[in-house]
């Protein structure tokens, strides 16, 4: 019932062997600090801060909306319903509100309903719980279609 593709692992593979190692000197030290040479390796993929995700590891951003979701429960405790409960964080806060809407699909992928939830205000570094439910018979999963943070 999840709505996000698996997170791509951000891994760094360091390939080094004694024949490819080089050393680089650190900048000059001050206040009688000693300088040391650090090994440098080739073929090391660099990840810049700009490429690192802004959200915690166990969250997934909904496209590029600045809102990231973490699935808390995909089997909510409601009788005869389909739904999911998420914790959300935002990149810049949503002082004027957060709106999340999802299509409800049946086993064939046909839209049979929609559901939504609203948070009136979410401060920077704030977290909220979003609950999306449907009581439509035949509903099997949800697909988040709209996220609005203002």
Domain that holds residue 65: 54-149
Supply the CATH number for residue 87's domain.
2.60.40.3230
Question: Where does residue 3 fall: left (phi above 0), alpha (psi -120 to 50 degrees), or beta otherwise?
Answer: alpha
Rounded Cα distance, 91 and 119, in Å: 15
* Structural domain includes residue 33: no
Confidence (pLDDT) at 74? 82
Q: Is the pLDDT of residue 7 over 50?
A: no
* Structural domain includes residue 63: yes
The pLDDT-based confidence of 89 (bands split at 50, 70, 90) is very high
Confidence (pLDDT) at 51? 72
For residues 123-136, give the mean pLDDT.
Answer: 93
* Structural domain includes residue 8: no
Confidence (pLDDT) at 13? 30
Distances, alpha carbon 114 to alpha carbons 76, 88, 90, 102, 130, in Å:
17, 19, 23, 6, 14
Domains of the chain: total:
1
pTM (predicted TM-score): 0.65
Give the start-end residues of each E strand in 18-79. 22-25, 37-40, 60-61, 67-73
């Amino acid at each position: 019932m999840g709505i996000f593709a698996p997170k791509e692992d951000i891994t760094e593979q360091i390939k080094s062997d004694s024949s490819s190692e080089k050393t680089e000197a650190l900048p000059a030290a001050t206040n009688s600090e000693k300088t040391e040479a650090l090994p440098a390796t080739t073929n090391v993929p660099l990840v810049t801060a700009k490429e690192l995700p802004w959200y915690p590891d166990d969250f997934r951003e909904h496209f590029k909306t600045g809102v990231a979701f973490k699935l808390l429960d995909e089997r909510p405790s409601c009788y005869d319903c389909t739904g999911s409960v998420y914790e959300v964080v935002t990149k810049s806060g949503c002082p004027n509100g957060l709106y999340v809407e999802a299509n409800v699909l049946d086993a064939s992928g046909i839209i049979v309903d929609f559901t939504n939830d609203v948070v009136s205000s979410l401060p920077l570094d704030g977290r909220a719980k979003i609950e999306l439910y449907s009581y439509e018979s035949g509903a099997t999963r949800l697909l988040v279609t709209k996220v609005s943070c203002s």
